[in-house]
Chains A and B, each alone.
Chain A
Amino acid sequence: MMPGIDREERRKKHARAGGFIALSAVVAVTVLLRPGYQWVSLTVGVCTAIAVAASGDLPGGRGRPGPYRERRKKRARVGGFIGCGTIIISGLFQPDWQWVPFAVGVPVVVAVVTSGDLRGGGRRGHGRGSGLSRGGRDDDGPVGAAHRWRMLAMVSRLMPGPGGRRWLAEAESLLSEIAPAGRGAAIRSYLLSAPGLVVMMWAREARRRAQLGPRRPG
């Protein structure tokens, strides 16, 4: 394993272990200080916390391997953290309604602060933006390329059927032959010209349908 990846993995494991310890501490304090009917939410919270802490090491799963699945896993972990945090904190403050914003707010803030790598290495923190706003840079790695590729496929669905399929097929053909350094700029140019193209294609399609006349039943 490469040293960089090893360090990254270790950092993630430490973060998960830290989160698990913190959650367990909250649960223990709650059980000691407020015994009673809260056991339901506490049990659910503890189980979820354990699942979230362990989920990083779970192998396999459905879907394509690669950046998509990694991102989905991270999102699931953050979502799980918010969920179990909410349940545990609600166990602490059940008698009054004031627990609601606190129980939701704290896990969200913690999740947002600790999930810097949710979008692939904390890009936001380095001011790189996302999608089309990345002024001409092509070094955005497989996540950025996959993201823009998915956008091309999505945009093609906005066009009339055959036109969209042809546009996507031609883009795919051209991008497969273009040098990797220029691929990002080419995809961006396709995406930037897409709105005008969508309007043009639908205007043409509307004219064609108008010429055909209204459909007769039967």
Chain B
Amino acid sequence: MALRLTVQVQLVVQALLRDPAREMYGLELSEETGLQPGTAYPILLRLEHEGWVASRWENIDPRAEKRPARRYYRLTAGGAVQAGAALAAARRPKGTALRRLAGESGTA
């Protein structure tokens, strides 16, 4: 099933596209997009299922760091291309909307 680019998905993709090589963890993404972590998680999971995003657990000793390991996400090479194209397409006004706008300006 194709990924639906809702506003929330676009926000997450935009945040990841800002620096495709950079790895981001949940809280970072949540702060950057303004989405609640519970909202961002299913989006990241879907992006991962689509192959746009890859994730990994941080390799640390939780006792030494005094915090649990984070899960880092980053865009895959193919994912960055696809995400960029999808985002550009989503921003482009749709044909029907353009026709309607043209019709309204013609009647006015």
Contact = CB atoms under 8 A, between A and B. Distances in A.
User: Do the two chains belong together in a single complex?
Assistant: yes
A197 to B, nearest CB: 5
B42 interface: yes
Nearest to B36: A189
B25 to A, nearest CB: 8
B47 to A, nearest CB: 13
Interface in A177-218: 177-178, 185-194, 196-197, 200, 204
Contact of A188 (B30, B38, B68, B69): B38
B81 interface: no
Interface in B49-76: 49, 67-71
B27 A174 contact: yes
Contacts, number: 60
A185 B36 contact: yes
Given A178-B27, A200-B45, A173 B38 contact: no
Contact of A189 (B27, B37, B46, B71): B37
Mostly helix, strand, loop or mixed at chain B's interface? helix
A117 interface: no
A191 B42 CA distance: 12
A166 B30 CA distance: 18
Nearest to B66: A176
Interface residues of B, number: 18
A200 B39 CA distance: 14
A200 B69 CA distance: 25
B71 A167 contact: no
A197 B67 contact: no
B84 to A, nearest CB: 25
A180 to B, nearest CB: 14
B55 to A, nearest CB: 9
A196 B68 contact: no
A169 interface: yes
A165 to B, nearest CB: 12
A172 B37 CA distance: 11
B38 A186 contact: yes
A187 B37 CA distance: 8
A22 to B, nearest CB: 49
Contacts of B20: none
A171 B46 contact: no
Given A170-B26, A174-B27, A204-B49, A190 B38 contact: yes
Interface of B: 25-27, 30, 36-39, 41-42, 45-46, 49, 67-71
26 contacts: A166-B71, A169-B68, A169-B71, A170-B26, A170-B41, A172-B68, A173-B69, A174-B37, A176-B68, A177-B67, A178-B37, A185-B36, A186-B36, A186-B37, A186-B38, A188-B36, A189-B37, A189-B38, A190-B37, A190-B41, A193-B39, A193-B41, A193-B42, A197-B41, A197-B45, A200-B42
Given A192-B38, A193-B38, 12 more contacts: A169-B68, A172-B68, A173-B25, A173-B26, A174-B70, A176-B68, A186-B38, A193-B42, A196-B42, A197-B45, A200-B45, A200-B46
